[in-house]
Amino acid sequence: MSIDVFTFRIVLKDKPFNRHGVLYVVASIYDPLGYLSPVTLIAKILLQEMCQRKLSWDEEMSADELLHHFANASQTGYGVVSYLHVIGVNRKIHCNLIIGRARVAPLKRTTIPRLELTAAAIAAQMDSKLKTELDLKLAPSVFWTDSTSVLKYLRNALVKYQTFVDNRVNLIRDTYDIMACRYINTSVNPADLASRGLSICYFLQSSLLFSGPDFLKKDETHWPTMP
């Protein structure tokens, strides 16, 4: 059985983060019917903000941009989701999903804290990769977990852990400032969705997964604190 579908093939070249670069990206997307309007609108808003700031065509825009990584694990799997958090003109905040990973828990039983720590280590690896791949000037990243055990592992520098834990703790410490590793309640942790799985219906309707928790759209004073 054959079906009719619309597809888009977009090849983006590395461009500077200025009006020339953003305009090139917008103009390179051929979408006469406007199917990609919700996506291209973000780039057009950014271009508009550059114009409002009266930046020259070759002047790069400086915005506060940082990566937020969320990690979580369950008995069935563990997952990580990463977001780019941009504070633009007039402190307007944009937050969008960049990449996600979900893996099935190993058949050999292991503890939830160890799975949580494994997810946290994957988040650290993703952070390093994204910083290499993204052609952006990024502020220090923030790591979020709903596991107080993971946070205790990271903040306890006096204990010598077993090899499994020690390797992952050192990987995370080498990636993040420990004070940038923060607690989030499971109910608003988008990585919880990645670790447990979603039906396609809920997936398509999940604003939490695609845009991140609502607190990221507010000032840092509204972010969750340690319990």
Look up residue 152 and give its two tokens.
């205790």
pTM, two decimal places:
0.70
Domains, the chain, ordered by start? 1-62 (no CATH), 64-222 (3.30.420)
Model confidence band, residue 165 (pLDDT cutoffs 50, 70, 90)? very high
How would you classify the pairing of strands 93-104 and 64-73? unpaired
Phi then psi for residue 33, to 5 deg, are -95, -5
In the predicted model, is pLDDT for residue 148 greater than 60? yes
How would you classify the pairing of strands 139-145 and 181-183? parallel
Query: Per-residue pLDDT tens for 189-222?
Result: 988 888 887 777 777 777 888 888 999 888 888 8
Angle at 191 between CA 186 and CA 193, to 5 degrees: 85
d(CA 86, CA 42): 12
d(CA 156, CA 172): 13
Please report which helix (H) or strand (E) contains residue 83, including its range. Answer: strand 77-87
